[in-house]
Amino acid sequence: MNLSDTFRRCKPLIVYICAGDPSPDQTVEIAERIIRAGADVLELGLPHSDPIADGPVIQSASQRAIASGMNTDLYFDIASRIEGVPKVFMGYYNMVYRRGLERFASDCRSSGICGMIVPDLPIEESHPLREAANRHGIDLINMIAPNTPDKRIREIVSLSSGFVYLVARAGVTGASDDLQESTKHLIDRVPPVIPRAVGFGISRPEHAAELIRAGADGVIIGSACVDLIGRNELDQLEDLIRRMKRAMTKVRVKSTVAIQRS
């Protein structure tokens, strides 16, 4: 299962969870429930002590996970036990660098992870990891922010495989009430030569639908789910994912119809 196939088949709902939160034992079960509820891609976070791109919800989850004994060895063990959808690693560069780039990419491969998101690794610093990821057939997924200039967007896209991660708003991860106009504008600014998935601040089915309508190829949801996991509201978590997925699929049907008519 790889990311390109998934994006060809559908406009995926990508769901982030923090591995080891609330405990390493529970992560596999939580992931299975998420997949059963309709997640198309699982973004499995490796918790870090200093997550500078994350807001309070994911920070707390990371702290809980580290306190419960989460580490990189357990991470790959957990990842290899989750099946059914493509899995993407999300984690900070020091955790990757410390294990060794080659070893990390190889561990991704052998635990069935097909892509890597490293939020503190901009393209200027990404060459060594990109080489290692390529050698093991792993997509290194780049991020594009609302303030990324057009020329740099083209550079990022040219270095990307799998999909590009569009950061919906300035700042850090965390649920918000509204989508900004600049988010929709950002989708237009990124050439559709590679799938464009949008994340940061997406927490409601209507956000997801709006993004798909605006041309997004996929939607990433994180903090809203992590928040429910933190409160041990797993039924609500499944329900949220079901509603998100339904909202996205409805739009898709509409736009397909529109294309057929035209």
Cα dihedral across residues 135, 140, 217, 88: positive or negative: positive
181 assigned to active site: no
Q: Of the residues 21, 43, 139, 210, which is catalytic?
A: 43
Is 170 near another protein (CB under 8 A)?
yes
Cβ closest to another protein, residue 41 vs residue 46: 46
Helices 101-110 & 72-80 angle (0-180, nearest 10): 30
Q: Where is 56: in which H helix or E strand?
A: helix 56-67
Question: For residue 144, which amino acid is it?
Answer: I
Is 98 near another protein (CB under 8 A)?
yes
Is 53 near another protein (CB under 8 A)?
yes
- List 1, 5, 36, 49, residue binding another protein (CB under 8 A): 49
User: Minimum distance between the CB of residue 116 and another protein, rounded to whole angstroms?
Assistant: 15
Question: Which of the ranges 108-116, 137-145, 215-223, 230-238 carries the binding residues for another protein, by CB under 8 A?
Answer: 137-145
Helix, strand, coil % in the chain, rounded to nearest 5: 50, 15, 35
**Whether the Cβ atoms of residue 48 and residue 94 lie closer than 8 Å to each other:** yes
Cα dihedral across residues 113, 224, 175, 64: positive or negative: negative
- List 71, 80, 180, 236, residue binding another protein (CB under 8 A): 71
Is 182 near another protein (CB under 8 A)?
no
- List 3, 88, 90, 144, residue binding another protein (CB under 8 A): 144
- List 57, 167, 228, 229, residue binding another protein (CB under 8 A): 167
CA dist 172 and 160 (Å) reads 22
CA–CA distance from 137 to each of 107, 120, 232 (Å)? 12, 21, 36
Is 93 near another protein (CB under 8 A)?
yes
**Whether the Cβ atoms of residue 49 and residue 66 lie closer than 8 Å to each other:** yes
**Whether the Cβ atoms of residue 210 and residue 179 lie closer than 8 Å to each other:** yes
Cα dihedral across residues 145, 62, 95, 85: positive or negative: negative
User: Minimum distance between the CB of residue 262 and another protein, rounded to whole angstroms?
Assistant: 36
54 assigned to active site: yes
Closest CA to 153 of 171, 165, 162: 165
Cβ closest to another protein, residue 32 vs residue 97: 97
Is 1 near another protein (CB under 8 A)?
no
Q: Of the residues 40, 54, 210, 217, which is catalytic?
A: 54
Size of the site for another protein (CB under 8 A): 42
CA dist 19 and 205 (Å) reads 24
Cβ closest to another protein, residue 28 vs residue 53: 53
**Whether the Cβ atoms of residue 178 and residue 148 lie closer than 8 Å to each other:** no
The 102-131 contact track toward another protein, x by CB under 8 A, reads -----------------xxxx-xx------
Active site positions, annotated = 43, 54
Residues contributing to the site for another protein (CB under 8 A): 48-53, 55-56, 59-60, 63, 66, 71-73, 92-99, 119-122, 124-125, 142-149, 152, 167, 170-172
